[in-house]
Structure formats: C-alpha cells, structure tokens
Chains A and B, each alone.
Chain A
Amino acid sequence: MTKVLRKIASSAVLATAHVVTGVRGVWAGCAPSSEQRIYFANHTSHGDFVLIWTALPKAHRADTRPVAGADYWTKSALRRFFVGDVFNAVLIDRNAPSESRGNVLAPLIEALNEGHSLIFFPEGTRNTGEEPLLPFKTGLCHLARAAPHVPLVPVWIDNIGRVIPKGEALPVPLLCHVTFGAPLALQDGENRDAFLARARDALLALRSRDGGDE
C-alpha cells in the first residue's frame, strides 16, 4: 500500500516540477551517471532538492538521498511522508547542542558508506537575502574527509527562489535550470577554509544571469 502511494506521490512531484518549472538539467562539467556522488547546491527554497532529483537520470534517483533539516521536515505527517518515504531523505539535527556536533553528520557518512549519493546544501539554511550564495558551513569539508573517494559535484539551481519564495506555500510557474559542474575533491594538505572557498567559487562559477530582480 505504502509502495503504491509512494509511487503515485513521486510521479505527482515529478509532474508538478515539470509543469511549474519546465526544469532542464544542464550537464556542463560532468555527464549524467549513476556513480556515487555528493551533489552540493545553492539553497533558496524547499523546491531545491526536488529539482535536482528531477534532473537526475531516472535510474539514479532511487539511490540519491537529499539531506534535510529534521526540525522542519518532521513537523507534520505529510512532510514526514514526503521526505521519508518519497525522497528517502537523510535527516540531520541542525539544532543539536554544540558538544554533540561531531555526531550531526554521522547519518550522512553512514548513507555514503552504504553507497548512496547525497544532495547536500552547504550553506546550511535557505538563502533569502540579496547575496547569491551564503558562506559555507563546515559540513561539506567533513563529508569530503570522511568519503574521499566520492566526487563532489557543484550544482547551481536557477530561479527556484522566485518560484517558491520563503514563506509562500504555492508555487508560480517560471522556468528553472539545474547546472551540474565539474567534480572536485579535497586535495592533499588543503586546509578547511581553502577547500570551502574553492568549492564555493566552483558553485558560483555555474551561476548564469538569473532573471528576477536586479
């Protein structure tokens, strides 16, 4: 029963994403593939991981898991169904006390060890300001250290912040692109800040001229 529901729900999400955003994947720096990857993207809306997921090859979707904040996504049964059953998300506790910070990323590393790909938002929260991209939290670097064999693919999502701005429940139809860049990895001897800066630049480099306000 849940399996049928899950299938219906995921088709509905895909169809909605196409009707509302006409989303197109642009494979600028790598080819679509089902190899294990960590996709890291800019985060402006709850629609973000849906768009990346829609742009991925069909066979790759089932084992690509978005990383989502537990505080938001466990609030209602509907959210739990979508994030848990439809997208099989890995939930992280963003409000954990600082002494247990080290364990916050443990479920992600476990998922990587099981062979899953991840969709990860290194800004840590949705960006609703004027800046195109917030400074990265350290999480991306921890992931790169814990799973050095997994390529990190930068993914720039255009326009979705205009489709569902923060605080709005309903989407408006505007075209979106999801641009996949060239994979990168943590280099020998590279320190945390240098790596995070390099990853952030690689992501920003994919940014095309957005529509929207100037």
Chain B
Amino acid sequence: MTFDSPMLYLCTGVFGVLTLATATERVLFRRSKGEASPMLQNLKERIDSWWIMAMFLTAAFLVGRIGMVVLFAIASFLALREFMTLMRTRRGDHWALFAAFFVVLPAQYALIGVDWYGLYSIFIPVYAFLLLPIVAVLRADTQAFTRRVAELQWGLMTCVFCVSHLPALMSLDIPGFEGRNERLVAFLIIVVQGSDVLQYVWGKLFGRTKVAPTVSPSKTVEGLAGGLASATLLGAALWELTPFSPLQAGAMAFVAALMGFLGGLVMSSIKRDRGVKDWGEIIRGHGGMLDRLDSIVFGAPIFFHLTRYWFTV
C-alpha cells in the first residue's frame, strides 16, 4: 500500500471520526450521571465495536491483498454460520453443509487470492449451484428438498459470493491506478457503512414517515433520503481515493448506498420470517456479523462490476 497524502487523510479521517464519536459518547455518559438510557448504552457498544472493526480492517490493509482475502474469508465463515443456523436444515444436508463451509468457501477465496476471475465469478453461481444438490441427493432425503437446496445456495451467494467481491476489488486492473486498489475497498466500506450510520442519524433527528413498516419499522423516508444524499456527498468528497471523477465517485457512492439500503431490507425480511431480531451476537451493540455485512452484501458485486466494466482495461 502506498502511503501518500490521500491515504494519510483517510486514516486521520476515520480515526478522527471515531475519536470524536467516543468523546461525544463520554460527554453524554457523564451528563446522564450513571443513568444511561438503553439507547446510549447501545451507542457506546456500537462505537466501541467500530474501533475494533476499524483496527481489523487497518491491519488487513497494511498486510495487503492476502490480509484482505483472509479477513473477508473469516467474515464470510461467521456470516454463513449465522445464516445456516436460522435455516431449516435436516440430517440429509450434512455433507452438503460440510462441503459449503470447508470446500466451497475456502475455494472461492483461494481463487480470489490467485486472481482467477474467470472461475471465481462463476464458481458459486454455477459449480456450487449444480454440485451441492448432487451431494445432498446422495443422502436420499426428499423432504423439503427444493427449499433446503435453495436455502444453502442463498447462504453461499450472500455470505460468500457477494462478500468475496470486496477483496476481489484488489485484482481489478485499472490504468493509472496500479498498486492502489485497496483504496477502492476502503471507499466502498466507508460509503456503505457511512450511509448506514447517516441514515440512522437522519432518521433519529427528522424521521417521521416509515418507509417499510412491516419489514423494518425503524427505517424512515427522512432517514433514507438524508442518508443517501449525505453518503453521495461523502463519496464525491472521497474521489481522490478512487480512479473516478468527483461526479462519478458521487454516482458510485449513490448506487452502493442504495443497494446497501435495499439489501438491508431483504436481509431484514429473512430475519423477520425466521422470528429473530439479530443474526447473532458476535459484534457487541450491532448483533451478528451479517447485521454489519448485510448492506455490503448487496453493494459489493454491483460496485465491483460497474468499476470493472467502465474503468478497467
């Protein structure tokens, strides 16, 4: 990773925002005189967890491509574990599940590690899609077969295939941008996660009208509009990190943030269907790994392909 001024601004910016958040939360805590509301308590846990996540990401960035591949492989494993826990697997799925976790997942990230685009872009949608039902059918359990096969494929697509497009950004060949691809990863993460935080803030300040009352009652039109607009501006402001012009960076940020919002809705309705509020409890204050990744899941492949189509040779 080349450590020039945009990268320096980025690190200062990210850790500056976190320091500011922690300082604000401390002041609010002091004012509450030991009677912190559950919301403030949750805010504190969320910010503390953000510090830890930012440190993991920074470490992976410093290691470079391999660090990124390993970090997101672990994130995928944790996400898929949460996803499949809530699905209705049967004993007959055992071999297929085992293959998904210990063959398909490592293979997908290994293919990204060796930069084999032709295979990693179709490995799960084609090969896993065809091979896992074959593995499952060997166990001769036909009950709810379509549903079981579909749930496993959906888990692999969201938790592994989509998430793996973040480290895959490292292999894009963009003229004049050589050796700086990790900035695309940083750009996408900051814009999508920033959009989540900004939607939350706008929603808390001005939220009146629910945007999807049955699927996700806490999301509001005001939060969505304010969040998307400010995430677009944030993306445009970060254009120097990217191969894009300011206008293009804003448009990319808008698409990624919009996909993040819609992806969040889709993942919410799965949680609702399975009767849970969070996917897990591995990240204090946030819930499970998938609660943090859900917006990235839908944004990453689209961002990857738009960039690949328009900006690579």
Query: Could you tell me which A residues sit within 8 Å of B by CB distance?
Result: 22, 24, 159, 162, 165, 168, 170, 172-175, 209, 211-214
Asked whether A22 lies within 8 Å of B81 as measured between CB atoms, the reply is: yes
Judge whether B196 is part of the interface by a CB distance below 8 angstroms: no
Residue picked from A170, A173, A212, most chain B C-beta under 10 Å:
A173
How distant is the Cα of A213 from the Cα of B89 in the complex, in angstroms? 6
Residues A162 and B89 in contact in the complex (CB < 8 Å), given A173-B77, A173-B101: yes
Judge whether B312 is part of the interface by a CB distance below 8 angstroms: no
Which residues of B have CB within 8 Å of A213? Answer: 88-90, 143-144
B280's contact among A162, A165, A175, A212, by CB below 8 Å, is which?
Answer: A175
Asked whether A174 lies within 8 Å of B98 as measured between CB atoms, the reply is: no
Interface residues of B in 129-148 (CB under 8 A from A): 143-144
Residue picked from B77, B82, B85, B274, most chain A C-beta under 10 Å:
B85
Q: Name which residue of chain B comes closest to A21, CB basis.
A: B81
Asked whether B85 lies within 8 Å of A174 as measured between CB atoms, the reply is: yes
How distant is the Cα of A69 from the Cα of B274 in the complex, in angstroms? 37
* 18 A-B pairs whose Cβ atoms sit less than 8 Å apart in the complex: A24-B281, A162-B89, A165-B91, A170-B98, A172-B84, A172-B97, A173-B81, A173-B84, A174-B84, A174-B89, A175-B81, A175-B82, A175-B280, A211-B85, A211-B86, A211-B87, A213-B143, A213-B144
Asked whether A209 lies within 8 Å of B282 as measured between CB atoms, the reply is: no
Interface residues of B in 46-100 (CB under 8 A from A): 77-78, 80-82, 84-91, 94, 97-98
Judge whether B118 is part of the interface by a CB distance below 8 angstroms: no
Q: Name which residue of chain A comes closest to B94, CB basis.
A: A168
Residue picked from B84, B88, B91, most chain A C-beta under 10 Å:
B91
Asked whether B85 lies within 8 Å of A175 as measured between CB atoms, the reply is: yes
How distant is the Cα of A172 from the Cα of B80 in the complex, in angstroms? 11
How distant is the Cα of A175 from the Cα of B89 in the complex, in angstroms? 13
Distance to closest chain A CB from B263 (angstroms): 22
Which residues of B have CB within 8 Å of A173? Answer: 77, 80-81, 84, 101
Which residues of B have CB within 8 Å of A175? Answer: 81-82, 85, 280
Judge whether B213 is part of the interface by a CB distance below 8 angstroms: no
Q: Name which residue of chain A comes closest to B77, CB basis.
A: A173
Which residues of A have CB within 8 Å of B90? Answer: 212-213
How distant is the Cα of A8 from the Cα of B82 in the complex, in angstroms? 28
Asked whether A172 lies within 8 Å of B94 as measured between CB atoms, the reply is: yes
Distance to closest chain A CB from B155 (angstroms): 11
Asked whether B85 lies within 8 Å of A172 as measured between CB atoms, the reply is: no
Judge whether B275 is part of the interface by a CB distance below 8 angstroms: yes
Which residues of A have CB within 8 Å of B282? Answer: 22
Asked whether A165 lies within 8 Å of B94 as measured between CB atoms, the reply is: yes
Residues A211 and B98 in contact in the complex (CB < 8 Å), given A22-B81, A173-B77, A173-B81: no
Which residues of B have CB within 8 Å of A24? Answer: 281
Which residues of A have CB within 8 Å of B97? Answer: 172
How distant is the Cα of A51 from the Cα of B143 in the complex, in angstroms? 30
How distant is the Cα of A24 from the Cα of B288 in the complex, in angstroms? 13
How distant is the Cα of A214 from the Cα of B280 in the complex, in angstroms? 21
How distant is the Cα of A174 from the Cα of B101 in the complex, in angstroms? 10
How distant is the Cα of A165 from the Cα of B98 in the complex, in angstroms? 12
**9 other A-B residue contacts (CB within 8 Å) besides A162-B89, A173-B80, A173-B81:** A24-B281, A170-B98, A172-B94, A173-B84, A174-B84, A211-B88, A211-B274, A212-B88, A212-B90
Asked whether A22 lies within 8 Å of B86 as measured between CB atoms, the reply is: no
